[in-house]
Amino acid sequence: MTDTPDEKQTTVASNNKYNNSNNNIPIEVPLDIAPPRDKQKDFVQDYYMMSSAMCCKVAGKVGIYIYTYLKWRKGMDKKYPGREKAYYPIPNTQSHDWGDIRRQRKNEAIQKMLKAELISVKKEKGKSTKVRLLIK
């Protein structure tokens, strides 16, 4: 018994009918290369860098998380009339995606931002604290 196949019994890999052994065929594929981007056109709608920086200065990394989350929720509710001045709860579960943000740090940041008048707070007994942005 030999390892080499005989003439009658061929495998697909060794069959020249199905195997293209000429790998030097030039294939010309047009490449769509994007032009260099214009950095003056970089824009994120309804996200203001200086407002984010103020929240960072007042409450640190958690302040940026709160600002970003509130801007996102506000943007999602933009098409509903009457939701411009809505209050939103800040969830603990999503804050774990940002690193080690616990509810104590989140509440400390809310108090710091409230003292700096960046947000307003609505507290109800037995419910989550709801927050609204006062800045753009």
How is the chain split into domains, by residue range? 46-133
Q: Is CATH 1.10.10 the right assignment for the domain spanning 46-133?
A: yes
Structure-derived torsion over alpha carbons of residues 20, 22, 23, 24, reported in degrees to the nearest 10: -150
pLDDT above 90 as % of the chain: 40
Radius of gyration of the chain (CA): 30
Q: Residue 90 carries which side chain, given as an amino acid letter? A: I
Structure confidence at residue 112 as a pLDDT band (50, 70, 90) = very high
Task: At 133, give phi and psi (nearest 5°).
Answer: -75, 140
pTM beyond 0.85: the answer is no
Q: What is the pLDDT of residues 70-104, one digit of tens each?
A: 998 988 888 888 888 899 999 877 766 777 788 89
As a whole number, the mean pLDDT across the chain is: 81
Ordered alpha helix ranges (H), 77-126 = 103-115
Residue 99 pLDDT: 76
Would you give the DSSP letter of residue 100?
S
- Nearest CA to 90 among 113, 67, 112? 67
